[in-house]
Amino acid sequence: MMTDIQNRLAILEKAKKLKLLILDVDGVLTDGKLFFDAEGNEYKSFHARDGHGIKLLRQTGVEVAVISGRKSSSVALRMKNLGIEHVYQGHENKIAAFNEILQKTGITHEQAAHVGDDLLDLPIMIRVGLAIAVNDANFAVKQRADWCTTLPGGQGAVREVCDFIMQAQGRFDEVLNAYLVR
């Protein structure tokens, strides 16, 4: 049985190898709540720090992709604003989208991480190099994750993941210094 220190070191080693971060949307990039107006228009709330973390991570050379079981124009708009090219919506069976992203990018399973919160995320989580669950994820997802964030989905958990990957890869100080010299 691994000690907490051994487990943390194993997670850091996995994070060092990452070239791709795959995110779920509802419950990860959002708090999972769905808002609809009287006409059926859907609204979602995204955390600004998550978006900035994604932009910073992408600047270090790590690709970011989104695979969601639901389809939403607000997700398409937010991902476009963040410059995310690999956006797959309406994929309840997420494996086909996952395999297509790997094929398009040439990235291996071991070089990919996935952040999820619910059972639909498990098929990808069990295949990636680093499986991550947000703090308020379903218990079965948390049990199968390599690491769980301290923050809940939609409340900065994605930024926590981005910062962790940049730190593991020795790139966080470089990103931070760009803000300190201004």
Q: Which residues of 141-163 are buried (b: 16+ CB within 10 A; e: fewer)?
A: bbebbbbbbebbbbbbbbbbbbb
Residue from 85, 114, 111, 109 nearest 99 by CA: 109
123 alpha carbon, distance to own chain's centre: 15
Sign of the alpha-carbon dihedral angle for 103, 72, 160, 143 = negative
Q: How many residues does the chain have?
A: 182
The annotation status of 31 as a binding-site residue, yes or no, is no
- Give the number of other CB atoms < 10 A from CB of residue 77: 12
**Is there a contact between 124 and 102 (Cβ–Cβ < 8 Å)?**
no
173 is annotated as contributing to ligand binding: no
The answer to the question of whether 37 is labelled as a binding residue is no
- Binding site membership: which residues? 24, 26, 117
- Binding site membership for Mg(2+): which residues? 24, 117
- Binding site membership for substrate: which residues? 26
